[in-house]
């Protein structure tokens, strides 16, 4: 992965842990951070993930590289804040999962393993207490309550 980005924009809104509104000039656009899947807003730790990411990037100028658009029309991007990869910051602090379906980055795998071992963020109760958003989105309420309750 590249160590620097080609473009920059200001973060005007954090929609959730992995989706942001950026402004470049007079144009606002929605960005979906590549490589990570943050908890959904109504999912356990979703609100806190959004709060932590907001504190980190809201109002700041970030660097980014766009890699296309997703199914929802959001710009897919790698983002850097304070010369650090945002995806690794989120994963290392337990604010998001590495999106294994789309990413096999060994740095991110190591970040997620360390966050799990140290019980950071969403990993506070261990690996079997968390429910990745990719599963949570597919479950009905019965299965969300059964498998996605987090710490008990």
**How far apart are alpha carbons 77 and 94 in whole angstroms?**
20
32 catalytically annotated: yes
The dihedral through the CA atoms of 127, 39, 52, 95 has a sign that is: positive
Active-site residue, from 13, 23, 40, 92: 40
The CA-based angle 53-109-36, given to 5 degrees, is: 35
How many residues in total does the chain contain? 152
Q: With the CA atoms of 84, 37, 105 and 34 taken in that order, what torsion angle do they form, in degrees rounded to the nearest 10?
A: -60
Q: Active site residue: 13, 23, 74, 137, which one? A: 74
Catalytic residue among 10, 13, 23, 32: 32
| Cα–Cα distance for residue pair 54/87, rounded to 1 Å | 14
- Annotated catalytic residue 10: no
- C-alpha closest to that of 15 among 71, 146, 39, 44: 39
Say if CB 39 and CB 51 are below 8 A apart: no
Catalytic residues: 32, 40, 74
């Amino acid at each position: 992965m590249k160590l620097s980005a080609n473009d920059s924009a200001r973060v005007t809104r954090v929609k959730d842990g992995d989706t942001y509104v950026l402004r470049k000039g007079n144009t606002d656009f929605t960005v979906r951070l590549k490589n990570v899947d943050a908890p959904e807003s109504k999912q356990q730790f979703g609100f806190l993930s959004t709060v932590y990411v907001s504190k980190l990037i809201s109002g700041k100028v970030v660097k980014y590289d766009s890699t296309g658009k997703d199914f929802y029309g959001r710009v897919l991007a790698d983002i850097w804040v304070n010369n650090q990869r945002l995806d690794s910051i989120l994963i290392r602090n337990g604010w998001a999962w590495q999106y294994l379906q789309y990413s096999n980055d060994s740095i991110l795998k190591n970040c997620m393993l360390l966050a799990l071992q140290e019980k950071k963020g969403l990993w506070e109760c261990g690996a079997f207490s968390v429910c990745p958003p990719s599963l949570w989105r597919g479950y009905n309420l019965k299965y969300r309550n059964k498998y996605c309750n987090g710490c008990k």
